[in-house]
Each structure stands twice: as structure tokens, then as C-alpha cells.
Amino acid sequence: MIQVVNNQSLKSYNTFGIEAKAKYFVIVENEKGIKVALELAQKNQWEIFILNGGSNSLFINDFEGLVIKIETKGISYKIENDFAFVTAQAGENWHNFVLFCLDHNFGGLENLSLIPGNVGTSPMQNIGAYGTEIKDSFFSLKALNIQTHEIQEFTNADCEFDYRESFFKNEGKNRFIILEATYKLTTKNHVLNTSYGAIEEELKRQNIENPTIKNISEAVIHIRQTKLPDPKILGNAGSFFKNPYICLAHYQGLKEKFPNTPHYPMNQEVVKIPAGWLIEQCGWKGKRIGNCGVHEKQALVLVNYGGATGREIFELSEKIIADVYEKFSINLQREVNIIY
């Protein structure tokens, strides 16, 4: 019922387009298949790697164990009062899921249009863009416990969401396989979030005064397409780094040296600084080293011009981290998952 392939190239399974091989590789299309694959790995003592959309992974080496590629499909919903509870299987493409919700006039995910990746990884790193994070409309998920093979349910609170963080990136890391996620979306009186500068500008440019959720989605798609590289054309994994949070005293020190430092107060003591700005100030924007480089329009995105290895991209990220630290005393953290 499952078919294990030896020495499978992962090039078309990661959005960076890195050539790495999986010693063993299996595509699973249902829960039973996932369990059988897990049992096989446990019997053979193979290390496992759960691969979903491959949009947030950088393979440094070949993977010497079993890569389990999740391709479970299906979207269903039920309506209660003024809300739709929409459940998608982990292998559903995120943007198709957003489009499904828009077609049914379910509001809440429109700002998250066109984010690469699949539904199963959306709660892992609490994906976010243009003033919205999934935690704002996430309801619950079902996950398979890798040790016990039990299916566990996690509420929004159980997932411990934070900026690009969740339980599944921390204590829950490598312990669960997310099977499906449910979002609680509005069916009427949608709460629109147009406060992000770029969205406001785009709606104005299109002369839209009273936007619908579809208008917002289209504006976001337009902004993303003009700013961010399409992984099908230029390999990348979106933001490579997280925007750093620094303490107020640190920010005030920086402001004296660099008066134009963009900053977003998070609370009275913490300030967020855009990593893209820090990287650009270090002269990295648009720079190319060998087959990889820093995107010319968004310095937070590292790109594979074709033929780059995972190690080359990793080494480029090390250089950027070192330069940003030297200039600003800020230690950038990677958002992308590095697979050694």
C-alpha cells in the first residue's frame, strides 16, 4: 500500500530547488499510509523526516533516513452561527485552501494569500503576512503522536503560537505529524485588516474604497508578486530570517548611530526591527555569491540562481548573520528549517 523509493532526488520537493537525496522516500496519501510508513521506519530504525510543501526547508546534506512526503487531500466545513469551521488535510496546498475559503465567502485568511507551503505546516510556524497570523483564525488540529501512534487534538492555546513559533517547533518538535487543521472563519461581518501600509496603498491605487475579502486577497497577491520571487522561477524559501526583537535600550543606542532605523514597538520594552533593512544596510541586498544570493527586491529572501547547494546558501546566511552582528550587535535567527 505504500511504495518506498531508494535514493530519491528531493530537488522538486523543496522550493529552494536544492539537489539533495533521500535514502528512502515514500509518498503517503492517507492516515493509514502515514502509520505504515512510521512502522516501517521504526522497524528498520530509520530516521524520519516529514516533508510537506518543502517551502521552509534547506537540505544541507543527503538525508540518510526515510522522507515521508505528506500528500493527504480534502477540505470540508460546517457552519455554526455566523462561523465556518473549515478543515483541510495536511497535504492541501495553502493557497488553494485560501482560494476555497474565498470562493465560499469565508473571511479571515485573505491576507495570507499566496504563501507557499501546505496546510499541515501552517501551524508549525504560525505563518503570517500583512498584519495577520494564522493564530488569529486557527481553531484546532489533529496530529499523530510519532511514539504512541495515538491521534491527539490541539486547540489554539495548546499550539502556543508566537511570532513564527509554535509548540511544534519547540517541545513538540519531531514528536507529531500534523494530519489536519481547522480554521474558524467568518461567514458575514468580515473583520478586514487593511492597516498594513502596502495593502492600503494597493487598494487606493485600484480605487477600491469598500474592499471585499476577495479585493484584499487580490491586493496581497499583487504585492507579493511584485516583491517576492516565485519559487517556481527562482528557488527560495520566503523570508530566510525572522525579524529580530530587541530591548528598548538597545534600540535607543542604535537610533543614536542610525537615526533612520525602522522599528515597530511590540510593547513598552520590546521593539521589532525589520531584518530586511539590517541586511540591506550591510550591503547585501541584490548581492550574488556563486549560484546563490540575496534577492534584489527583498533582502530577507535568499535565492538559488540554479545549482546552488544547501551548504552554499547556509554559508551565505552565516556571512549575513556575522555582518549584521558586527554592525548592529543583533543576532539574526533563521526562520528556515535547516536539515543537516
Which lies closer to ligand EPU via its Cβ, residue 95 or residue 285? 285
The footprint of ligand EPU on residues 253-272 (CB under 6 A) is 262
Q: Which amino acid is at 267?
A: N
329 flagged as catalytic: no
Q: Which of 15, 57, 239, 304 binds ligand EPU (CB under 6 A)?
A: 239
C-alpha cell at 221: 497577491
Q: How far apart are CA 50 and CA 67, in angstroms?
A: 6
As given in the structure block, the three cell numbers for residue 152 are: 491527539
Using the rule CB under 6 A, is 276 a contact of ligand EPU? Answer: yes
Site string for ligand EPU, 199-228 (x = CB under 6 A): -----------------------------x
Q: CA-CA distance, 68 to 287, in Å (whole number)?
A: 35
Q: Is 113 in the site for ligand EPU (CB under 6 A)?
A: no
3-class DSSP state of 257? helix
Q: Which amino acid is at 280?
A: E
Is 238 near ligand EPU (CB under 6 A)?
A: yes
Contact status: 65 vs ligand EPU (CB under 6 A)? no
| CB contact at 8 A, 301 and 229 | yes
Find the binder of ligand EPU among 58, 88, 300, 313 (CB under 6 A): 300
Q: Which amino acid is at 237?
A: A
CB nearer to ligand EPU: pick between 37 and 114 = 114
Q: Is 8 in the site for ligand EPU (CB under 6 A)?
A: no
Interface residue with ligand EPU among 25, 46, 154, 277 (CB under 6 A) is: 277
Q: Does 274 bind ligand EPU (CB under 6 A)?
A: yes
Q: Tell me 325's DSSP state.
A: H
User: Which range, of 10-18, 154-162, 203-211, 274-282, touches ligand EPU by CB under 6 A?
Assistant: 274-282
Instruction: Report CA torsion sign: 184, 128, 74, 40.
Output: negative
CA 34 to CA 68: how far, in whole Å? 8
Q: Which of 113, 137, 164, 217 is catalytic?
A: 164
3-state secondary structure of 63: strand
Q: Is 36 helix (H, G, I), strand (E, B) or coil?
A: helix
- If binding is defined by CB under 6 A, does position 310 make contact with ligand EPU? no
Stretch that binds ligand EPU, among 13-21, 35-43, 170-178, 234-242 (CB under 6 A): 234-242
Instruction: Give the span between the Cα atoms of 248 and 196, in whole angstroms.
Output: 23
9 is catalytic: no
Question: With binding defined as CB under 6 A, does residue 130 bind ligand EPU?
Answer: yes
Find the part of the chain contacting ligand EPU (CB under 6 A) among 19-27, 96-104, 178-186, 295-303.
295-303
Backbone angles phi, psi at 213, to 5 degrees: -65, -30
Residues 6+ apart with CB under 8 A from 229: 236, 295, 297, 301, 303
| 94 contributes a contact to ligand EPU by CB under 6 A | no
Would you please indicate which residues are annotated as catalytic (active-site) residues? 164, 239, 335
Residues of this chain that interact with ligand EPU (CB under 6 A) are 129-130, 228, 238-239, 242-243, 262, 274, 276-277, 280, 285, 298-300, 335
